[in-house]
Structure 1
Amino acid sequence: MESLIRKNIQQLIAYKVDAPQFEIIVNANESPYDFPMQLKRKFCDDICNTDLNRYPEACFPELIEAITDYTGVPGEGIICGSGSDELIAMINQAFVDPGDVVVSHSPSFSMYDIWATIANARHMMVPDLPGHLPDVEGMIAAACQNQAKLLYICNPNNPTGYIFSRTDIIKILDTVPSLVILDEAYIEFFGESGVDLLEKYPRLLVLRTLSKAFGLAGIRCGYALGNKEIIDILYKVKGPYNLNVLTQKLAVIALKNRDAILRNLEILKAERQKAMRVLETFPGLTLYPSGANFIYFETERAEAIYQALLKRNILIKRFIETDATPGSIRFSMGKPQENQKILDIIKEVVYNEA
């Protein structure tokens, strides 16, 4: 069997996720607030009046209209996928030949590397500067010197939470020869989007998702915004019915009722700030600013914190230490009582081992 596998896939480690059998789950940057019940009922009514024996709309016209209303981007500049993951796969399928260079900053979203590996590309991950600041000059140099096909900017960044300044984003766009993918999965928590830059920069593609701020990780709906030429290219590699009718219906309801859903943003941002103020008082933690719905910190006690939380039936994200970085923890904001419980356990570990 091994002789049949593509060589670049043989060493690829599969992306596997933990089964969510925990009392508190804050490892995947999901919203702790479920979709409102009244909107679930509306969804049920819509589905009862939908023919499920027919294929879904292949180009999702109703969903595209709702996204246009939300983002201001015309329908010809929008394509949807099963989360940002599928869109990243489509970008690689459309633009990357074996041996091409893909550039990103590091650490960042792991799917950039996975899909680049599957495409048999050379992925150049430019390490952060000290203090987890993105090395913008290093990214530009890597892209220009290697004629990179793609360059990823995750803003706000996952997992560190840092922000690329608008000046830096424009500098990258003005300099590199690449298709620049601005991943705005967490942009609602920050608020300063780069979507308006699409008018000036034809090689810019913006990724968005309903999994985070909209609290719809379970329906797997993402979308890309760009100029018509790029979107038309992506349609060439899109599966004919890649977004099922249930996802399309619920996504439309969410976007049309966004004011009610996005009220939770202020609660989550306030919880993030409150938790950061508490963590700043703990010894042995290096805490980093976050523009997203999660907190990231480095500590030599990362494994002890992770295990202590697991024993209390709480799942967070633990990053293993490397030669360059100590162990680190990322946890997304839960409900206030959940966050308090997590902070109490971290405090126990920190002071018991101090």
Structure 2
Amino acid sequence: MESLIRKNIQDLVAYKVDAPQYEIIVNANESPYDFPMILKRQFTDDICNTDLNRYPEACFPELLNELSAYTGVPTDGIICGSGSDELIAMINQAFVNAGDVVVSHSPSFDMYNIWAKISDSKHIRILDLPGHIPDVDGIIKAACDNHAKLLYICNPNNPTGYTFAKKDIIKILDAVPSLVVLDEAYIEFFGESDVDLLPNYPRLLILRTLSKAFGLAGIRCGYALGNKNIIDVLYKVKAPYNLNVLTQKMAVIALQNRDKVFKNLEEIKAEREKAMAVLKELPSLTVYPSGANFIYFETPFAEKIYEVLLNRSILIKRFKETGSCPESIRFSIGKPKENQKILEIIKEVVYNEA
């Protein structure tokens, strides 16, 4: 059997996620607030009047119209996928040959590396400068020197939370030969999208999702924004019916009612700042600024914090030490009482261990 597996897949570690059987879950950067019940009922009514024996719209025209209204990008510059994950897969399928070079900053989203390995390309990860500052000049040099096919920029970045200045994104776009994939999964928490750059940069592709700020991680709906020529290429590798009718219907309702859906955004950002202020006061924690719905901090007590929280039915994200990064924690912002409980436990661990 092993001889039948592609060599680049044999050593690939599967991306597995923890079963969400915990009292509090703050490990996956999801919204702590469920989709509004009034909109769920609207969805239920809509589905009851939908023929489920037919395939869904293959090119999702109603959804594209709503996304165009939300982003300002023409419908022929938008494509949808089952979360950003599928879109990253499609990008690799369409543009990356075995042996091509992919560049990203590091640490960042794991799926960039996983899909680089699946496509049998060479992934060059440019480590952050001290203090988790993206090495913009290093990114440019790596892309240019290696004629990189793809370059990923995650803004705000997962897991560190930092953001790129627009001038630095423009600097990268002006310098590199690559298709630049700008991942804006958390942009609603930051509020400063670079979608306005699309008309002037035909090699720019922006990834977005309804999983985070829209509170719809469960429906798996992501989308990409770009030049029509790039989007047309992605349609060539898109599965015919990659978004089921349930996902399309719920996504349309969310976009049409985004004021209701976004009512908790300011609270999440305020809770992030409150939690950050508490964490910054603790010894042996290095806390980094965040433009997303999570906080990243490095501490020698990361493993202990993770274990104690787990024993109290709280799932948080822990990163093990690597050659370039110490032990760290990514704390997705929950509801106020959840955040308070987590912070008290972290304080308890830190003061016991310090």
TM (normalized to structure 1)? 1.00
Question: For residues 17-36 of structure 1, what are the structure 2 equivalents within 5 Å?
Answer: 17-36=17-36
Contact 2:67–2:255 (CA under 8 A) maintained in structure 1: yes
Paired position in structure 2 for 1:329: 329
Paired position in structure 2 for 1:241: 241
Contact 2:26–2:333 (CA under 8 A) maintained in structure 1: yes
Give the distance between the partners of 1:331 and 1:310, measured in 2 at CA. 13
Paired position in structure 1 for 2:262: 262
Structure 1 residue 324: deviation in Å? 2.4
Question: For residues 80-99 of structure 1, what are the structure 2 equivalents within 5 Å?
Answer: 80-99=80-99
Structure 1 residue 108 corresponds to structure 2 residue 102: no
Give the distance between the partners of 1:144 and 1:319, measured in 2 at CA. 31
Give the distance between the partners of 1:158 and 1:294, measured in 2 at CA. 9
Give the distance between the partners of 1:253 and 1:18, measured in 2 at CA. 29
Paired position in structure 2 for 1:218: 218
1:120 partner amino acid: D
Look up the SS of the partner of 1:198 in the other structure.
Answer: helix
1:202 partner amino acid: P
- Report percent identity of matched pairs: 79
Structure 1 residue 325: deviation in Å? 2.0
Structure 1 residue 353: deviation in Å? 1.0
Contact 2:103–2:148 (CA under 8 A) maintained in structure 1: yes
Give the distance between the partners of 1:68 and 1:201, measured in 2 at CA. 18
Look up the SS of the partner of 2:207 in the other structure.
Answer: strand
Give the distance between the partners of 1:330 and 1:2, measured in 2 at CA. 36
Paired position in structure 2 for 1:75: 75
Question: For residues 96-245 of structure 1, what are the structure 2 equivalents within 5 Å?
Answer: 96-245=96-245
1:180 partner amino acid: V
Paired position in structure 2 for 1:56: 56
Structure 1 residue 323: deviation in Å? 2.6
Structure 1 residue 263: deviation in Å? 1.3
Give the distance between the partners of 1:331 and 1:298, measured in 2 at CA. 11
1:315 partner amino acid: L
Give the distance between the partners of 1:106 and 1:117, measured in 2 at CA. 16
What are structure 2's unaligned runs of at least 5 residues? Answer: none
Look up the SS of the partner of 2:189 in the other structure.
Answer: helix
Structure 1 residue 331: deviation in Å? 1.1
Contact 2:127–2:324 (CA under 8 A) maintained in structure 1: no
TM (normalized to structure 2)? 1.00
Calculate the aligned-residue CA RMSD, in Å.
Answer: 0.4
Look up the SS of the partner of 1:223 in the other structure.
Answer: strand
2:129 partner amino acid: L
Q: Which deviates the most, 319-328 or 217-226?
A: 319-328
1:244 partner amino acid: N
In the TM superposition, what whole-angstrom CA distance separates every residue of 1:107-159 from its partner, at most 9, and x where no partner exists? Answer: 00000000111000000011110000111111100000010000000000000
Look up the SS of the partner of 2:84 in the other structure.
Answer: helix
